[in-house]
């Protein structure tokens, strides 16, 4: 399973030097677009963050902070969010951020109705949506249909998450430090290659990459091509000693780099230092082989 390093930001991070953010290894960013609905409910740095992150090649998603207390208000929030983000392309989901304390008292049924109302309206405009909430909310305020229909962005600031359902993104800390950002910033991990999903299926502002009569709505993502020097963050991945070895030599986690990008038997060589990329002899600088199919 591949792990992609990300952050989520809003006006509270102030002006960000996105070139430094990228150099620090950040691979995606979730940017606050809106909160509530109506005049003054757009994050004042949304446009700046979107443009500057995209300019340096950081894939982005957006999130909307909700105050909705019923499905009708959730639809108003969706309409407002859409009015702000339309015309832009997002490689990561559009998230519905549910954490307002005054809403929790509404209970599971009503909160689930609110979430569905927002997500269904955004889906009608061609967006891939997800639900952001902390573990307590996810454990207590959403029905099973929410988990069956939508991706989850889990907020749990612990060394290892304990949420026992499937989630696509994990917000792991609120006290991260990243170059280019003054002060703390939220740190995230994503476990899907969301850009492939959006581009292949024509979601979040992208045009569908293939159009055939037999195509279904959801397609297998386009296989990523790995180039020499690409950063890969691994989490419990099988490492092989050669391109043909059937049993893995060990399980590894951490940051590695693609050694030369050559695909051999569905495997690529990796190294533990960017300075080792393409250095010879291979045996001195290659950590081992990993399967490309395990990364997607």
Domain ranges of the chain: 2-201, 231-295
CA pair distance 46, 168, nearest whole angstrom = 23
Pairing of strands 250-258, 267-271: antiparallel
pLDDT confidence bin for 1, thresholds 50/70/90: low
pLDDT value at 282 more than 80 = yes
Indicate the pTM of the whole model. 0.72
CA pair distance 155, 157, nearest whole angstrom = 7
pLDDT value at 105 more than 90 = yes
Mean pLDDT of 56-69: 98
Residue 188 tokens read as 């995230």
Q: Which of 35-44, 57-66, 248-257 has the lowest mean pLDDT?
A: 248-257
CA pair distance 49, 11, nearest whole angstrom = 9
Superfamily for domain range 2-201: Glycosidases (3.20.20.80)
Contact 257, 270 (CB under 8 A): yes
20-49 burial, b at 16+ Cβ within 10 Å, e below that, comes to ebbeeebbbbbbbbbbbbeeebbbebbeeb
User: pLDDT, tens digit, for every residue of 194-220?
Assistant: 999 999 999 999 998 755 444 444 544
The residue with greater pLDDT, 31 or 282, is 31
């Amino acid at each position: 399973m591949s792990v992609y390093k990300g952050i989520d930001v809003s006006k509270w991070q102030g002006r960000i030097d996105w070139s430094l953010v990228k150099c620090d290894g950040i691979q995606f960013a979730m940017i606050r677009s809106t909160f509530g609905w109506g005049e003054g409910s757009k994050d004042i740095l949304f446009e700046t963050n979107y443009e500057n992150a995209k300019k340096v090649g950081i894939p982005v998603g957006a999130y909307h902070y909700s105050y909705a207390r019923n499905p009708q208000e959730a639809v108003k929030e969706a309409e407002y969010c859409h009015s702000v983000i339309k015309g832009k392309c997002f490689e990561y989901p559009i998230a519905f951020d549910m954490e307002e304390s005054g809403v929790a008292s509404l209970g599971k049924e009503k909160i689930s109705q609110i979430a569905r109302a927002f997500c269904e309206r955004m889906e009608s405009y061609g967006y891939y949506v997800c639900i952001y909430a902390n573990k307590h909310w996810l454990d207590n305020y959403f029905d099973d249909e929410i988990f069956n229909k939508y991706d989850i962005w889990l907020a749990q600031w612990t060394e290892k998450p304990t949420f026992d359902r499937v989630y696509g993104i994990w917000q792991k800390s609120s006290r991260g430090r990243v170059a280019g950002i003054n002060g703390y910033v939220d740190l995230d991990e994503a476990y899907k290659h969301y850009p492939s999903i959006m581009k292949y299926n024509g979601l979040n502002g992208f045009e569908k990459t293939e159009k055939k009569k037999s195509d279904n709505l959801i397609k297998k993502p386009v296989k990523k091509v790995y180039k020499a020097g690409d950063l890969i963050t691994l989490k419990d991945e099988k490492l092989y000693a050669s391109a043909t070895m059937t049993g893995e030599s060990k399980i590894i986690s951490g940051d590695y780099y693609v050694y030369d990008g050559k695909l051999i038997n569905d495997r690529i060589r990796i190294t533990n230092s960017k300075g080792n990329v393409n250095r010879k002899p291979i045996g001195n600088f290659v950590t081992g082989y990993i399967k490309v199919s395990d990364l997607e």
